[in-house]
Amino acid sequence: MKVTRNPLHRIAAIAVAGAAAGLLLSAGPASAQQPKIKIGLMLPYTGTFAALGTSITNAFKLAIDENGGKLGGREIEYFTVDDESDPAKAPDNANKLIKRDQVDVLVGTVHSGVALAMAKLARDNNTLLVIPNAGADDITGPLCAANVFRTSFSNSQMGIAMGKVMAEQKKKTAVTLTWKYAAGDESVGGFKETFEAGGGKVIKELSLPFPQVEFQSYLTEIAALKPDVVYVFFAGGGAVKFVKDYAAAGLNKTIPLVGAGFLTDGTLEAQGDAAQGLLTTLHYGDGLTNPKNNAFRAAYAKAFKTDPDVYAVQGYDAAQLLIIGMNAVKGDTTKRAEIVKAMESAKIDSPRGSLALSKGHNPIHDIYLRKVEGKENKVIGVAVKDLTDPPRGCKL
Ligand code: PHB
């Protein structure tokens, strides 16, 4: 496990403490002596989702740095664990942060299976959890909790949006393909729901275990089935390989490939020509021109010498949400009910557009239709406006 402390923050803290000491006679004991707020980052830094974990971490820290390196006026100490996107290791990894390091806030993760385990531990230990990616529907549905928030999306949202668009385009038959776990199943489930409600038919649901990338036999089957469209959920390194394999098999010339936007987000550099023209649905697009997105993209590019992706947006918004919560109590983490109340009613100025949370603490946001043009996921329309989750039995 790696513990990261920012020396600049320490110098700043010493300076503040020094200044406060000078005022001591007149002002009394200074609040600069408050202990640091401990943030536990549990994210993938190795494996097929490694780049996603890095984007989230970068942007989370960027938002905190833009806020003076503080939460509610208190300095921050980061504790970092690589969860390897491995659900089997999730309880041990989360307990390192919750029990051993006693973090005030847990932030993570990318993989739905890992996040489900984190959410259970967060509920059992009453630890504040902010999820900056993993979309497992149940976490903000039947398993919702006062102390669990998500700044990303729920898995079915992207499928719901693309199923609607494909039905509107009068596609009649579809084949779906995904990794077989909560994220893929729910993404495909959303697609099937709206595609079939709009008159289409999913003729075959294909899947392979996470994080396998041996796609050849599935491509052969798709070629034989000849559907009007193929809908997939893949992300990270697996998405890069899938899009390249689909094109190498020549299928991009005959059967349109569409997907949840993770298929082409943060991946275009590596996918190159193979991704050109692909349609995806996502709550973000590179070319959004709202002022917050312009400022965010410029700051991220300056700090990290690379363009941000959707994962960076979600990490940035996780920090923005915590800033709102902690400001409401001036950093007093014992005032949990007030923190939760402030976070529940937060209006986040997100690079994706303005963002509010549902009753289950999941984003209500526009889902964009995007088309790959060059190195950009260009927004060509809004597939669904203000999409919120259907009530799934969340009792809060
Ligand atoms: C998930 O497991 O929930 C997941 C992973 C990667 C993504 C999106 C969702 O890009």
260 CA from centroid of ligand 1 (Å): 10
Whether ligand 1 lies within 6 angstroms of the CB of 109 is answered as: no
- pTM value? 0.92
Res 257: pLDDT: 98
**Which is the closest atom of ligand 1 to the Cα of 311?**
10
Contact indicator for 150, 137 with CB cutoff of 8 Å: no
pLDDT number for residue 278: 98
DSSP string over 283-316: S--TT---HHHHHHHHHHHHHHSS---HHHHHHH
- State if residue 112 touches ligand 1 by the CB under 6 angstroms criterion: yes
The secondary structure of residue 344, as a DSSP letter, is H
For 48-82, how does the pLDDT look when each residue is reduced to its tens digit (9 = 90+)? 999 999 999 999 999 999 999 999 999 999 999 99
Q: How far is the CA of 265 from the centre of ligand 1 (A)?
A: 12
E strands, 183-247, where?
A: 201-208, 229-233
Name the closest-CA residue to atom 5, ligand 1. Answer: 111
For residue 135 and ligand 1, the question of a CB distance below 6 A is answered with: yes
155 in contact with ligand 1, CB cutoff 6 A = yes
Comparing CA positions, the residue from 313, 294, 362, 352 lying closest to residue 52 is: 313
Q: Is 58 in the pocket of ligand 1 (CB under 6 A)?
A: no
pLDDT in tens, 123-144: 999 999 999 999 999 999 999 9
48 pocket-lining for ligand 1 (C-beta < 6 Å) = no
- pLDDT (tens digit per residue) in 278-310: 999 999 999 899 999 999 999 999 999 999 999
DSSP letter at 96 equals I
